[in-house]
Amino acid sequence: MRLFLKGLGKRELATSFMLILFIILFILPFVTIGLKSVSVGWRWPALLPSGLSLDAWRSIMKDPKLIESLVTTFKVAFLVVLLNLLLAIPAARALSHYMFKGKSIIEGLLLSPILIPGILLAMGLQFTMIQFGIADKVIGVVFVHLIPTLPYAIRVMRAGYERMGSSLYEQASVLGAGLFTRFFTIALPLLLPSIRSLMLLTFVISLGQYALTAIIGGGTVITLPMLYYPYFSSSNDAVIAGFSILFALLPLLFIGFVEVMMRLVIRAVNRV
Amino acid sequence: MNGRIGLLSNNWKISLYLLPAFAITLLLVGYGTWSAVAQSFQTIDGEWTIATYAELFSSDAFFHSLKLTFRVAILSTLLSLVIGLVMTRMLYELFKVSTWKLLVWIPMLIPHFVAGYLVFLFLSQSGLLSSLLYQIGALENRANFPVLVQEEFGIGIILTYVWKEVPFVILMLLPVYYEIDHRYSEVVRTLGGSNWDAFKTVELPWLLPVLIETSVILVAFVASAFEIPYLLGVTRPEMLPVRAYEWFYNGDWSKRPLAFSAMILPGVIALLLATLSIGAVQKHRLRMIKGRSR
């Protein structure tokens, strides 16, 4: 051990220390709640649980409200991701490849939801959305979830387009490729990392909304966070831990699904 | 790309590309803001009045909440920036390998309130850290453990935000670190400069715009987010978003204008902050383009 430490320089030592700190701070907590969710009687001052059981998971899975809200959550998040893709990709393309009058104003407006409190906007929109009959519905909730997601989606896609440059696109159009061929054979494969980040980011942001969903959903659109808060004030630790793990698993599940879908799309496009 | 490609001229194409996102944002932000401001100046019967603001500004509780909100926002932003910067500086070589970079994404994957739960689990009086200290004999009773969550200063809230935003800061800074020509740092060191000199003269000019942008995003976000303070805060003083939410959802509709006006102030402050700092960044960018340091 000593020899090993001697072999390392001061800088390497600092780097490995940082890395260990990083792992303790960001990975260990997940292992802990994972363990917590299958534990019984893990109380102060025990450092490890006194027994293991799947009771907490059973009671989570038995909750009929949970399955329903899981479906609602996926519905909302899926639509939010889809809308973000449809809105952000063309906007990012325009912003990254063209100069035009009033560009900075448009950029400013598109990024403004980052600065203006989302909760203020949702409260402001609520009355009008009731009048138009889209409050208390999934579609209304999807709409307000665009406030915290769309600016980030545009940002991510824009960075992707800027990295891609325009030379390949120009080459393709000189060779006579149409809009769709160009998009599917050049932009899509090259933008894949950005699209992946966009989907993951917007999914996670949508998954984490409580206040916006509560204000516009009005207690009829029950997404998972609506159930998490009451659970938090209940005292069964293992159940809260299991619920938290569920929140961490959903994005992974989603990104796995997306990955498979994207592979299929690309394969289909390549065949055509 | 000057000529026409395809059927549409460039101007038409640009408008078509931008219109959907632009229209939706204008509707959400433009109409939302207008409606919120209008409702803050109206009584519940629709009469125009400034009584709401008068009531708000004469209440001590509001100023306590405002102070708490911005204290938490600024402290958690500064801490996240410093820690994120130090981690990025030390680990950016490592993060070139994509497996390590995945590590940074992990905390980004969970909602804020789950992060809040983690802080509660580890740092509350009967939490795991307190257990650990008891086991090694550093603590006699759990009551001796300092109250870190659900107390007036907002320590638990700040810690949660720092935990959640440090990875965000790292992901914002990494691309800049890959852009910097690190041979300049070698030059500084060869000429006898310290590490700090290298950071100040080589890295900081590159980092400054991103650092400012990130901090504006974080301050605006923390000052207006509801999820964490609702979970880890105390009732008095409450952070403004929680206060506003409760006014809004309180059965008493006459409190609704208060909810709007209470959130408008942090919004205005965040906007001012953004305008000022974007102005500063523009100046800085111009200076970098002209190639003069002063």
pLDDT tens digits, B205-224: 888 888 998 999 999 999 98
Residue B134 C-alpha, separation from nearest chain A C-alpha, in angstroms: 7
Tokens coding A191 = 């933008």
pLDDT at A72: 92
Q: Whole-angstrom Cα distance, residue B260 to residue B39? A: 7
Shortest Cα–Cα distance, A134 to chain B (Å): 14
> What is the rounded average pLDDT of the residues B109-126?
87
What pLDDT was estimated at residue B157?
Answer: 92
Residue A88 vs residues A17, A110, A114, A153: alpha-carbon distances, Å: 40, 10, 15, 6
Going by C-alpha positions, the residue among A183, A185, A173 that lies closest to residue A268 is A185
Q: Determine what percent of chain B is predicted with pLDDT higher than 90.
A: 20
Chain B residues close to A95, C-beta within 8 Å: 18
Where exactly are the structural domains of chain A?
A: 2-55, 64-271
Mutate to test the interface with B, among A24, A69, A120 (most CBs of B within 10 A): A120
Residues of A in contact with B32 (CB under 8 A): 116, 120-122, 124-125, 147
Q: Say whether pLDDT at B294 is over 50.
A: no
pLDDT above 70 as % of chain B: 94
Question: A-chain residues within 8 Å CB-CB of B105?
Answer: 200
CA distance B102 to B89: 17
Residue B34 to chain A, least CA–CA distance (Å): 8
Burial level of A244, CB count in 10 A (0-12/13-18/19+)?
buried
Cβ-Cβ contacts under 8 Å, B241 against chain A = 117, 119, 211
CATH topology of domain B34-106+165-290: MetI-like fold (1.10.3720)
Contact A150 B91 (CB under 8 A): no
Q: Is the pLDDT of residue B107 over 80?
A: yes
Beta bridge partners of A51: A40
Check CB contact under 8 Å for A211 and B227: yes
Interface predicted TM-score (ipTM): 0.86
pLDDT at A6: 54
The minimal CB distance from A117 to the residues B132, B175, B263 is found for: B263
- Give residue for tokens 């009005």: A218
Please state, as a whole number, how many other Cβ atoms lie within 10 Å of the Cβ of residue B136: 9
- The pLDDT value given to residue B1: 43
Size of interface A-B (CB pairs under 8 A): 231
Yes or no: say if B164 and B217 are a contact pair by the CB < 8 Å rule.
no
Provide the phi-psi class of B289: left if phi over 0, else alpha when psi is between -120 and 50, else beta: alpha
pTM of this prediction? 0.88
Q: What is the pLDDT of residue A1?
A: 47
Beta carbons within 10 angstroms of residue A71's beta carbon: 11
Residues of B whose CB is below 8 A from A252: 109
Q: Where are the beta strands (DSSP E) in B25-174?
A: none
The whole-angstrom separation of Cα B207 and Cα B180 is 9
CA A248, A259, A223 angle in degrees (round to 5)? Answer: 40
Q: Do B110 and A44 touch (CB under 8 A)?
A: no
Measured CA to CA, the distance from residue B225 to residue A253 in angstroms comes to 26
Options 3.20.20.240, 1.10.3720.10, 3.20.20.70, 1.10.3760.10; CATH for A64-271 is 1.10.3720.10
Upstream peptide bond of A148 is cis (omega within 30 degrees of 0): no
Q: Which of B29, B216, B241 sits opposite A113 (nearest CB)?
A: B29
Question: So what's the pLDDT on residue B2?
Answer: 44
Q: Burial letters for A107-139: b for 16+ Cβ neighbours within 10 Å, e otherwise?
A: eebbbbbbbbbbbbbbbbbbeebeeeebbebbe
d(CA A21, CA A28): 10
pLDDT tens for chain A, residues 1 to 272: 455 555 557 777 877 887 888 888 888 888 888 888 888 777 777 777 777 777 778 888 888 888 888 999 999 999 999 999 999 999 998 888 888 888 888 888 898 898 899 999 999 998 888 888 888 889 999 999 999 999 999 999 998 888 887 788 788 888 887 777 887 778 888 888 899 889 999 999 999 999 999 999 888 889 999 988 888 777 677 888 888 888 888 988 998 998 898 888 878 877 76
The per-residue pLDDT for A269 is 75
Kindly state the average pLDDT of the residues B133-152. 78
B131 or B44: which carries more pLDDT confidence? B131
